[in-house]
């Protein structure tokens, strides 16, 4: 290995670590289901932990230990129609990922999402979508590693 390559090695390591961290701070989500199409995304938020969430003035308010931040809802969400009947029924953590499964209380349709690993409680709520689908919003975090995300939930056409 040449002297020049040896000098560049620390720079390459820093770039790789920074890129890996940036990739983990945001990601697309695609749920697994036999009857539903579930798509959305998650992103990191600057708050120490997620102690609670609520709808306030058409935004999602995420409460941490010292502060509350307001997040714009996805454009497909209708903040005037909360409570669409989705419940978290199972949660597992394996291989650096967190699997969560939601089931609808009346149709019993379900889907599973893969999220970044965390032991922090998952806070969630559901809303009507502007096009008739459902929208699930959720947040989790601890130790200054907090995230929020959303998915649209559409029933597959027969």
* Domains of the chain by residue range: 26-155
Worst-scoring range by mean pLDDT, 8-17, 25-34, 43-52, 57-66? Answer: 8-17
Strands 145-155 and 97-104: unpaired
Other Cβ atoms closer than 10 A to 89? 11
pLDDT score for 15: 36
Residue 135: which residues within 8 A CB-CB, separation 6 or more?
Answer: 73, 74, 76, 77, 78, 84, 126, 127, 128, 129, 150, 151, 152, 153
Among 31, 39, 48, which residue's Cα sits nearest to residue 140? 48
Mean pLDDT of 59-76: 97
pLDDT score for 23: 42
pLDDT score for 2: 52
Please provide the average confidence, as pLDDT, over all residues in the chain. Answer: 87
pLDDT score for 3: 47
Res 94 pLDDT > 90: no
The answer to whether the beta carbons of residues 48 and 144 sit under 8 Å apart is: yes
Mean pLDDT of 97-125: 96
Q: Residue 84 has which token pair?
A: 């669409």
pLDDT score for 154: 96
Question: Under the phi-then-psi rule, with left for phi > 0, alpha for psi from -120 to 50, and beta for the rest, what region is 144?
Answer: left
Task: Please state whether the predicted TM-score (pTM) of the whole model is above 0.75.
Answer: yes
């Amino acid at each position: 290995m040449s002297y020049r390559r040896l000098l560049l090695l620390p720079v390459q390591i820093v770039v790789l670590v920074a890129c890996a961290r940036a990739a983990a701070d945001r990601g697309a989500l695609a749920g697994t289901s036999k009857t539903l199409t579930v798509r959305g995304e998650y992103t990191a938020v600057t708050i120490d932990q997620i102690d609670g969430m609520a709808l306030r003035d058409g935004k999602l308010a995420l409460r941490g230990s010292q502060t509350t931040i307001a997040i714009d809802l996805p454009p497909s969400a209708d903040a005037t129609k909360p409570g669409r009947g989705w419940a978290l029924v199972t949660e597992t953590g394996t291989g650096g990922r967190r699997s969560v499964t939601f089931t609808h209380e009346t149709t019993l349709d379900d889907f599973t999402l893969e999220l970044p690993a965390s032991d922090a409680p998952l806070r969630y709520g559901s809303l009507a979508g502007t096009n008739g689908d459902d929208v699930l919003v959720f947040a989790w975090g601890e130790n200054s590693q907090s995230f929020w995300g959303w998915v649209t939930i559409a029933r597959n056409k027969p």
